């Protein structure tokens, strides 16, 4: 039997999700405008802080580097907006998840495949325009090709962690109906501890130490460390990617455990 056959089984979820996405064209425009607005806010705020800093650039970031960091952090945010948390919590809340349990597929895997087009379209229709727009407006750091390649690998891992975080947040709907509050909380926590608002290198030591213990910094800070070449040779690269892989594996295990527990709990919402 073809070893890819099980994965092949999930391809209709990719096309199905793409089909329903393409019905909402205005969504991409809104995502792009939102990302551009918050990127502009972060960039101009930080540039103001930077230029008024008396003792040189903080944390060894020059202006172009910092601008690149903040812009790409926003674009990574678009890749993390995979809607898995919304979809899972809605399906659990409405009980549609029971229907998925009657199909010979793994629900977390279905969600993973279904979020691929979300990430792809976000990157293409929102991320790319924002990147081009800012490239015209502000000076950016042009990465070395090898760093760009490392960033691509790291960005994939960061998207995987984002999927797992959102899956866990979505599964919170098994225990509470206030999924909106939990999603809001997650957004704040992720925006801060991922390094999207403040690069981890610029955080006070204590806060940076806490941040490095959490999985979220692998979502933004890790890929940007590689993109900007702020690592120490090959061991540095392996350290960053290794940590990302480790967190991906840990979150995978946690999500699998929570999912198994949640399915047994489904009885309460069985209706």
Partner 1 sequence: MIVVENLVKEFRVPEREEGLSGSLRTLLTRRYRTVRAVDGVSFDIPAGSRTAYLGANGAGKSTTVKMLTGVMTPTSGHCLVNGLEPYRNRRRTARRIGVVFGQRSQLWWDLSVPDSFRILRRIHDIPDAVYQRNLRLFRELLDIDALATTAVRQLSLGQRMRAEIAASLLHDPEVLFWDEPTIGLDMVLQEAVRELVNRVNRELGTTVLLTSHDLADITSICDTALVVDHGRVIYQGRIDQLLSTAGQRCVIFEYRGGPSPEAVAAEVEHALPGTRVRLDGQRVRIDHPVGLLSSREVLSFLLERVDLTECYVPEPDLGTVLKELYTRNGHRGRAPGGAA
Residue numbers of the site for partner 1 (CB under 8 A)?
A: 5, 8-13, 16, 19-20, 23, 95-96, 98-99, 101-106, 264, 266-268, 270-271
Closest CB to partner 1 among residues 12, 120 = 12
- Nearest in space to 79 (alpha carbons), one of 125, 24, 118: 118
The CA radius of gyration of the chain, in Å to the nearest whole number, is 20
* H-helix or E-strand spanning residue 26: helix 25-51
Query: Is residue 54 packed enough to be buried (19+ CB in 10 Å), middle (13-18) or exposed (0-12)?
Result: exposed
CB of 262 to partner 1, least distance (A): 12
**Contact assessment for residue 167 and residue 255, using Cβ atoms and an 8 Å cutoff:** yes
Closest CB to partner 1 among residues 133, 269 = 269
**Contact assessment for residue 183 and residue 191, using Cβ atoms and an 8 Å cutoff:** no
CB of 271 to partner 1, least distance (A): 7
Closest CB to partner 1 among residues 13, 46 = 13
Closest CB to partner 1 among residues 151, 259 = 259
**Contact assessment for residue 207 and residue 124, using Cβ atoms and an 8 Å cutoff:** no
CB of 173 to partner 1, least distance (A): 17
Distance CA 33, CA 269 (A): 38
Closest CB to partner 1 among residues 27, 197 = 27
- Listing DSSP states for 191-252 in one string gives HHHTTSSS-GGGS-HHHHHHHHHSGGGGTTHHHHHHHTT-S-HHHHHHHHHHHHHHHHHHHH
CB of 85 to partner 1, least distance (A): 18
Closest CB to partner 1 among residues 232, 267 = 267
* H-helix or E-strand spanning residue 101: helix 97-101
CB of 38 to partner 1, least distance (A): 29
Q: Which tokens is 246 given?
A: 């480790």
CB of 12 to partner 1, least distance (A): 4
Distance CA 219, CA 159 (A): 7
CA 217 to centroid of chain Cα atoms = 10
CB of 125 to partner 1, least distance (A): 19
Closest CB to partner 1 among residues 13, 163 = 13
CB of 162 to partner 1, least distance (A): 23
Closest CB to partner 1 among residues 104, 204 = 104
């Amino acid at each position: 039997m073809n070893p890819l056959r099980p994965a092949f089984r999930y391809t209709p979820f990719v096309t199905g999700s793409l089909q329903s996405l393409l019905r909402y064209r205005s969504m991409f425009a809104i995502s792009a405008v939102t990302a551009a607005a918050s990127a502009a806010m972060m960039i101009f705020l930080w540039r103001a802080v930077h230029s008024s800093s008396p003792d040189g650039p903080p944390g060894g970031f020059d202006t172009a580097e910092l601008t690149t960091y903040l812009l790409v952090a926003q674009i990574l945010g678009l890749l993390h907006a995979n809607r898995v948390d919304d979809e899972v919590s809605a399906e659990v809340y409405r009980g549609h998840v029971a229907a998925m349990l009657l199909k010979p597929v793994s629900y977390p895997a279905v969600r993973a495949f279904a979020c691929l087009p979300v990430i792809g379209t976000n990157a293409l229709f929102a991320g790319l325009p924002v990147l081009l727009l800012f490239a015209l407006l502000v000076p950016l750091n042009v990465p070395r090709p090898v760093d760009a390649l490392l960033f691509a690998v790291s960005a994939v891992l960061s998207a995987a962690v984002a999927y797992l975080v959102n899956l866990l947040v979505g599964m919170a709907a098994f225990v509470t109906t206030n999924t909106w509050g939990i999603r809001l909380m997650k957004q704040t926590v992720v925006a801060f501890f991922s390094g999207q608002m403040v690069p981890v290198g610029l955080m006070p030591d204590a806060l940076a130490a806490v941040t490095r213990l959490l999985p979220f910094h692998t979502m933004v800070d890790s890929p940007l460390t590689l993109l900007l070449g702020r690592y120490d040779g090959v061991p540095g690269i392996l350290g960053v990617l290794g940590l990302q892989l480790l967190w991906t594996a840990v979150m995978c295990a946690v999500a699998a455990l929570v999912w198994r527990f949640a399915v047994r709990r489904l009885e309460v919402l069985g209706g």
